[in-house]
């Protein structure tokens, strides 16, 4: 594993947001959802996420997720993805979302 300096980590804007809308992305090569995420003071941002294996649209609404907010926007299957929703791969190589066990403010930065 490559080590980084503390200042490198501080440059990453990891923030909490609540999913306020989710829909399948019919243009994606691999199954994906288009998410609208309320990031508090940063506003509402869009993300394309390949999280269909474990999550249904109706289960995502209101769910808080951890997002990388300072990547440059990227066009993914016709969607301008403005933030990266974080998660980890399970044993079947399917994404499990990073989440919180208690509600926190939208836009809160990872401590």
> Would you state the structure tokens that stand for residue 84, as one six-digit string?
């990266």
Q: Which pLDDT does position 111 carry in this prediction?
A: 86
- Domain presence at residue 1: no
What number is the average pLDDT over the span 3-18?
96
CATH number at residue 53: 2.40.50.140
- Domain presence at residue 72: yes
For 57: left if phi > 0, alpha if psi spans -120 to 50, otherwise beta; the answer is alpha
- Domain presence at residue 19: yes
Domain, as residue range, for 16: 6-97
Q: Which pLDDT does position 18 carry in this prediction?
A: 98
* Residues 20-76 pLDDT 10s: 999 999 999 999 999 999 999 999 999 999 999 999 999 999 999 999 999 999 999
- Domain presence at residue 102: no
What number is the average pLDDT over the span 82-108?
97
Domain count, the chain: 1
């Amino acid at each position: 594993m490559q080590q980084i300096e503390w200042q490198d980590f501080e440059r990453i804007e990891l923030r909490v947001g609540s999913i306020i809308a989710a829909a399948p992305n019919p243009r994606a090569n691999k199954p994906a959802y288009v998410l609208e995420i309320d990031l508090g003071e940063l506003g509402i941002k869009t993300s394309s996420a390949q999280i269909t294996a474990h999550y249904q649209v109706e289960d995502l609404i209101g769910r808080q997720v951890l997002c990388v907010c300072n990547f440059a926007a990227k066009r993914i299957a016709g969607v301008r993805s403005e933030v990266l929703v974080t998660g980890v791969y399970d044993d079947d190589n399917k994404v499990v979302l990073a989440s919180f066990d208690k509600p926190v403010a939208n836009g809160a930065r990872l401590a």
